[in-house]
């Protein structure tokens, strides 16, 4: 008799108890009748996409390794931290344009004097190049593995910092930032899928949210350094980050799921044992058996007997997972989260913070205000990481969108009043409320898509889908930055802030109606939700 898991893998749910009852009947006539009945297979309990999503999702009934909870959690945290060092290095590239723009605007670099139009490109060219890297990210991740792909992308970041340190031409300045954006696209799929595939369900939400915290920490480091160093020296010091990230990633194991999909079962078993508390492979044998079964599911479900597929059939077969509700619905949700996260005001505030604080008459040095902005962003992100496990994602998201609307609305109103009445000197108002908006948005809406992206897609499309969804997010970020000067020119800074208010309120309504709560759910449960199961 097959085990229940073996039956599930083959797409069948067999009523074993009923089978035993029929075999043991004392009624000869009934036995003959049953023997002559055609065997009708029961409808599979799980669809193909649900079976695929079971990868990396440990069921609750599997025994835990014989170690403490702290020891089980520690290797998952360490592996995530190694990955986060790469994101820290990437976050530095995102914060770098903010600290360079004031120097370029003031004409302090004779060979690098930029017009407002050129500055709008300088501030956003890295973001528009992310989707280009994102197109290759999924394929690179599936070919090289999560770990090696993450190690590889440190090299172009290193090259970009060297060029930025010594560049004396505008085209090379653009190219350096474009290279960092391309690299950001390459790293999306490996970093997002790695966490989802190495963590247990109870750890996943908290550890996934540290990705955004690491990027923001990298941005904050740039803001701090800008208060004491010129931007070229900062570029030189930034070279250290990708070197450290490469070394730390070398020390952690690759995803056991990816290793198993490549037939490297012994390495996958060893990796899983490392990630579950540095135990022996025997201690995680049942979870490893479950992992192997679920990894083989796509091949079993998708195999064809008798004959080979044509090229068109192969294309349709590969395209099929991307036509299901389990891909389309999460993709729309994540894309919407990216849109509202970028157009609710925080993207442009972070990029042009120095000039915005100057325009609003902030009572402190604009560079110091920008450093405080980075600090409250980091604080909000840290609160999200701590609170998301207990509060869930929905409450944090709704609080952040309502809070952002209030903060930008108050700041816009203050700007209008100040322009009509120059005697108004409450300069603490814009500083306080803009810092508050940074805290609130990074507590929810700014982190939401990055948390969702690693857990809402089925395993068979997770690499490609996460790369594509993050690329959409960066396109929105590019548009937000690129159109900022045009919006301010058309409707003033206050009018632009009121647009952000409208976007945030719209996000509040839509997320309240359509956003499911995924915190505390297994990957299988999340997939079943998007498949329409209650």
Three-state secondary structure call for residue 490? helix
pLDDT for the residue 450: 82
CB-based contact 149:189 (threshold 8 Å): yes
CB-based contact 182:130 (threshold 8 Å): yes
Q: Are residues 29 and 150 in the same domain?
A: no
Please identify, among 12, 28, 45, the residue that sits at the C-terminal boundary of a domain.
Answer: 45
3-state class percentages of the chain: helix first, strand second, coil last, to nearest 5: 75, 0, 25
Token pair 């989260």 is found at: 337
| Structural domain contains residue 478 | yes
- Which stretches of the chain score pLDDT less than 50? 1-56, 298-306
Cα–Cα distance measured from residue 270 to residue 282, given in angstroms and rounded to the nearest whole number? 10
Burial of 182-193, coded b for 16+ CB within 10 Å and e otherwise, reads: bbbbbbbbbbbb
How many CA atoms does the CB half-sphere of 24 hold within 13 Å? Answer: 6
pLDDT for the residue 239: 96
Q: Are residues 130 and 232 in the same domain?
A: yes
Q: Are residues 22 and 149 in the same domain?
A: no
Q: Which helix (H) or strand (E) holds 331?
A: helix 325-343
| Structural domain contains residue 282 | no
pLDDT digits (tens, 9 = 90+) for 27-40: 444 343 434 444 44
pTM for the full model?
0.76
Helices first, then strands: H and E counts in the chain: 26, 0
Burial of 376-399, coded b for 16+ CB within 10 Å and e otherwise, reads: bbbbbbbbbbebbbeeebbebbbb
First to last CA, the chain: 31
Q: Are residues 19 and 58 in the same domain?
A: no
Residue 463, domain CATH: 1.20.1250.20
pLDDT for the residue 533: 64
| Structural domain contains residue 295 | no
Give me the long-range contacts of 482-489 (CB less than 8 A, separation at least 24).
482/120, 482/121, 482/123, 482/124, 482/128, 484/120, 484/348, 484/351, 484/352, 485/116, 485/117, 485/119, 485/120
Q: Which of 184, 192, 171, 188 shows the shortest CA–CA distance to 128?
A: 184
Q: Report the length, in residues, of the chain.
A: 534
Cα–Cα distance measured from residue 320 to residue 311, given in angstroms and rounded to the nearest whole number? 14
Cα–Cα distance measured from residue 243 to residue 86, given in angstroms and rounded to the nearest whole number? 9
- Range of the structural domain that residue 401 is part of: 53-261+315-530
Three-state secondary structure call for residue 329? helix
Cα–Cα distance measured from residue 83 to residue 153, given in angstroms and rounded to the nearest whole number? 12
Q: Are residues 219 and 109 in the same domain?
A: yes
Burial class of residue 322 (count of CB atoms within 10 Å of its CB; 0-12, 13-18, 19+): middle
Helices (H), 227-324: 231-238, 240-250, 256-261, 265-275, 285-302, 311-319
Q: Are residues 129 and 17 in the same domain?
A: no
| Structural domain contains residue 325 | yes
CB-based contact 430:25 (threshold 8 Å): no
| Structural domain contains residue 477 | yes
pLDDT for the residue 389: 76
Q: Are residues 109 and 202 in the same domain?
A: yes
CB-based contact 50:531 (threshold 8 Å): yes
Q: Are residues 91 and 167 in the same domain?
A: yes
State how many domains the chain has. 2
Token pair for residue 419? 């322009």
| Structural domain contains residue 432 | yes
Q: Are residues 96 and 9 in the same domain?
A: no
Q: Are residues 321 and 430 in the same domain?
A: yes
Q: Are residues 365 and 410 in the same domain?
A: yes
Q: Are residues 80 and 114 in the same domain?
A: yes
Cα–Cα distance measured from residue 280 to residue 272, given in angstroms and rounded to the nearest whole number? 9
Cα–Cα distance measured from residue 492 to residue 224, given in angstroms and rounded to the nearest whole number? 29
pLDDT for the residue 12: 38
């Amino acid at each position: 008799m097959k085990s229940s898991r073996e039956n599930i893998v083959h797409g069948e749910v067999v009523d074993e108890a009923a089978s035993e009852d029929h075999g043991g009947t004392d009624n000869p006539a009934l036995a003959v009748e049953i023997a002559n009945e055609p065997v009708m297979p029961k409808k599979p309990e799980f669809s193909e996409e649900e079976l695929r999503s079971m990868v990396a999702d440990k069921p609750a009934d599997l025994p835990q390794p014989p170690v403490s909870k702290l020891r089980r959690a520690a290797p998952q945290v360490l592996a995530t931290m190694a990955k986060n060092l790469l994101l820290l290095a990437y976050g530095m590239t995102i914060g770098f344009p903010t600290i360079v723009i004031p120097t370029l605007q003031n004409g302090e670099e004779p060979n690098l004097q930029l017009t407002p139009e050129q500055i709008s490109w300088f501030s956003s060219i890295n973001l528009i190049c992310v989707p280009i890297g994102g197109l290759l990210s999924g394929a690179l991740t599936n070919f090289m593995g999560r770990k090696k792909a993450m190690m590889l992308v440190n090299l172009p970041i290193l090259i970009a910092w060297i060029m930025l340190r010594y560049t004396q031409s505008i085209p090379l300045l653009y190219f350096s930032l474009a290279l960092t954006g391309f690299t950001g696209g390459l790293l999306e799929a490996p970093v997002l899928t790695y966490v989802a595939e190495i963590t247990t369900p109870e750890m996943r939400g908290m550890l996934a949210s540290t990705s955004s915290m690491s990027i923001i920490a990298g941005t904050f480091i740039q803001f701090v350094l800008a208060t004491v160093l010129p931007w070229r020296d900062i570029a030189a010091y930034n070279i250290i980050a990708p070197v450290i990230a490469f070394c730390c990633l070398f020390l952690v194991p690759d995803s056991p799921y990816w290793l198993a999909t490549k037939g490297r079962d012994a390495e996958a078993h060893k990796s899983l044992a490392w990630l579950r508390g540095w135990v022996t492979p025997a201690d995680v044998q049942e979870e490893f058996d479950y992992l192997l079964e679920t990894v083989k599911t796509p091949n079993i479900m998708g195999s064809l007997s008798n004959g080979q597929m044509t090229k068109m059939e192969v294309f349709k077969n590969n395209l099929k997972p991307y036509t299901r509700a389990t891909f389309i619905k999460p993709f729309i949700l994540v894309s919407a989260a990216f849109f509202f996260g970028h157009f609710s005001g925080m993207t442009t505030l972070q990029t042009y913070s120095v000039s915005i604080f100057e325009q609003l008459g902030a009572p402190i040095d604009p560079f110091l205000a920008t450093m405080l902005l980075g600090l409250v962003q980091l604080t909000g992100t840290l609160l999200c990481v701590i609170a998301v496990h207990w509060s869930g994602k929905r409450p944090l998201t709704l609080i952040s969108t309502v809070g952002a609307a209030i903060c930008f609305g108050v700041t816009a109103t203050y700007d209008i009043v100040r322009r009509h009445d120059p005697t108004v000197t409450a300069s603490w108002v814009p500083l306080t409320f803009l810092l508050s908006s940074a805290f609130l948005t990074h507590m929810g809406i700014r982190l939401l898509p990055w948390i969702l992206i690693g857990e809402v897609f089925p395993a068979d499309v997770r690499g490609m889908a996460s790369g594509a969804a993050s690329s959409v997010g960066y396109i929105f970020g590019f548009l937000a930055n690129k159109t900022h000067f045009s919006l301010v020119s058309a409707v003033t800074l206050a009018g632009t802030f009121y647009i952000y208010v409208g976007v945030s309120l719209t996000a509040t309504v839509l997320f309240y109606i359509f956003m499911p709560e995924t915190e505390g759910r297994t990957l299988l449960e999340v997939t079943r939700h998007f498949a329409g199961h209650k």
